[in-house]
Structure 1
Amino acid sequence: MAFENKVVHANGNDFSCWFEGKGDKDIVLIHGEIHGKAYWEPQIREFMKDHRCLAYDRRGHHGSDTAAFGFSVENQTRDLRALLDHFGMRRPRIVALAFGSTIAANFANQNPDRVESMVIGAWGELHDALSYLQRWEVAGRLSAEAFEAGGKPALVDLLRREGGKTMYMVIPPEGDPLREPVIDLMASHSAAHYRSGMLEVASSVPDLVSRFEQLDLPVLGICGADDPFKDEPEMLSRMKNFREASMIEGGGRFAHWQQPGVFNRVARDFFESGRVR
């Protein structure tokens, strides 16, 4: 059964959303930069049994690729707030990955009463966003040039040759069954987003940690053992209710997609009991 795409106008932009499930608990899933909502399918199928689940393509991504500007973390936080309001999600559980975790943390800093708890995967962007700028300036330019020269097929060819080797190091290595799906996901955006949108996101991340670590909010960090940019739990060591789960073997940046059974179990156990196995 495929999920129905719902187009929602919020904060001046159209967003492609999946809104599935039932129950008295809500979960919102926020993807990372040049990713997309598609990789949350295993989580929605698990949690829709007893939650209302929202996943959306962030502005500039896939079905929401209509914005020509406005990619800052602050504006994307407004996007999140507007979408939660639209779907009547008052106090959801949040699951966020990579640069999605910066949006989630910024939202929680501004709206601590609107978050029940949070799972953040590959969350180094909370404190290390600026380190991406130099890499992304080069990789984004190469991606934009390939896309402009030959469309998505040309960019896919580039990522097959260089992805995970000289650019976008989070792309799984050759032989990983998710290498091609990840390449397809990351090659599905506009040239303008590779050229400038990614840089706007990374350069706009505020000082999140100093406020985030003061929140009385249950937060679980999850990282794949093969992620090239592993979590640094000590960066949130002063956060009273933060814990980092054991690394997920057989998972990289996309551990929730590569090892969904493990990821879902750990996340569900945390949401329901606060325990980390």
Structure 2
Amino acid sequence: MTKQVQLANGLDVSYRDEGSGGETIILLHGFCGSSSYWEKIIPLLSPAFRVLAIDLRGHGGSSAPDEPYTMERFAEDLASFLDKLDLSAVHLFGHSLGGYVTLAFAEKHADRLKSFGLIHSTGFPDDEAAKANRDKGAENIRANGMEPFIKALVPKLFAPAHLASMPDEVKAAKEIGLATQPIGAIQTLKGMRDRQDRSRVLESTKLPVLLVAGTEDQIIPSEKTFTASGPNVEQVLLSKAGHMGMLEAPKELADAIVRFLSKN
């Protein structure tokens, strides 16, 4: 069920709320995505958990204010969201951009987490080349709108073989991306460009951590995801998946999340 709530800062947040029993899972999508990224995952998790999939600011049905979108601001949006729904401690999983937000949240609000996970994401910041590409992307969107940007972006998100074998999933990702408000995409690009190195959060946390990567990920390779190890860290490699495990390997990803949560 899709719902909307207004946060204390005035931001309108759209989210999906499924399942009524068990503990609460929060799912955060990636850049130019939305809660719709999780459509195949939610039915696999909701029988045992309450699943909340949020549209981050600037994405999906949420507000897109023209102001800086730092990872810290995204994290405070989430804290306000938990306050609004009277949720004390949750399991938080973030895909790509959502993983950057997850780490920012874990750094400041670890007491509000039971566990967290990065899905095709990393604790590392952008290098100089990546920062330049963020700027080029923002300029492209400002000059030409979302369509050429999304048409160039989406094919890179999938394993090359899946561009032909998963046309419906590729089409869905394009449609979701095209629904992103241009100012939201521009401000998010700037926020990702300027984000801090939070690899230390992964290395130092005592919370249970799930790290998920894809063997065919062209955006964030597994070595940039699997940067922490230890008794509290579980690493899962999705065979043949690119950057979109929730669409390319939904059952495998859902099974990994359920196994992880059953231990924690």
The TM tier, using the shorter chain, reads 0.7 to 0.9
Root mean square deviation of aligned Cα: 2.2
SS in 2 for 1:70: coil
1:182 aligns with 2:173: yes
1:236 aligns with 2:236: no
1:128 is matched with: 125
SS in 1 for 2:52: strand
Q: Deviations over 1:37-71 (max 9, x none)?
A: 11112222122212221111111112113311131
1:252 is matched with: 242
Contact 2:137/2:189, CA 8 A, preserved across alignment:
no
1:83 is matched with: 81
Contact 2:142/2:182, CA 8 A, preserved across alignment:
yes
Amino acid at match of 1:170: L
Could you say if the C-alpha distance between residues 84 and 136 of structure 1 is closer, same or farther in structure 2, counting changes exceeding 3 Å? same
User: Within 2, Cα distance between the matches of 1:123 and 1:263?
Assistant: 14
Could you say if the C-alpha distance between residues 128 and 158 of structure 1 is closer, same or farther in structure 2, counting changes exceeding 3 Å? closer
Could you say if the C-alpha distance between residues 171 and 136 of structure 1 is closer, same or farther in structure 2, counting changes exceeding 3 Å? farther
Contact 1:65/1:189, CA 8 A, preserved across alignment:
no
SS in 2 for 1:145: helix
TM-aligned CA deviation for residue 159 of structure 1: 4.1
Amino acid at match of 2:246: H
Amino acid at match of 2:120: A
SS in 1 for 2:40: helix
Contact 1:6/1:19, CA 8 A, preserved across alignment:
no
SS in 1 for 2:238: coil
Structure showing greater relative contact order (alpha-carbon pairs closer than 8 Å, 6 or more residues apart): 2
2:190 is matched with: 200
Q: Deviations over 1:168-201 (max 9, x none)?
A: x32564313222111112222222233x313321
Show structure 1 runs of 4+ deviating over 4 A.
Answer: none
User: Within 2, Cα distance between the matches of 1:172 and 1:8?
Assistant: 37
User: Within 2, Cα distance between the matches of 1:163 and 1:58?
Assistant: 19
Contact 1:20/1:54, CA 8 A, preserved across alignment:
yes
1:170 aligns with 2:160: no
1:41 is matched with: 39
User: Within 1, Cα distance between the matches of 2:70 and 2:233?
Assistant: 26
TM-aligned CA deviation for residue 128 of structure 1: 3.1
Task: After superposing the two structures, state which structure 1 stretch, 202-211 or 51-60, moved more.
Answer: 202-211
Amino acid at match of 2:228: L
Could you say if the C-alpha distance between residues 259 and 211 of structure 1 is closer, same or farther in structure 2, counting changes exceeding 3 Å? closer
Amino acid at match of 1:129: D
1:6 aligns with 2:4: yes
TM-aligned CA deviation for residue 268 of structure 1: 0.3
Superposition pairs of residues 45-64 of structure 1, within 5 angstroms: 45-64=43-62
TM-aligned CA deviation for residue 158 of structure 1: 6.0
TM-aligned CA deviation for residue 11 of structure 1: 2.8
**Unpaired stretches in structure 1, ≥5 consecutive residues:** none
Contact 1:172/1:179, CA 8 A, preserved across alignment:
no
Q: Deviations over 1:70-115 (max 9, x none)?
A: 3111111100101111112211111111111111111111122211
User: Within 2, Cα distance between the matches of 1:66 and 1:159?
Assistant: 18
SS in 2 for 1:27: strand
User: Within 2, Cα distance between the matches of 1:251 and 1:11?
Assistant: 38
Contact 1:127/1:208, CA 8 A, preserved across alignment:
yes
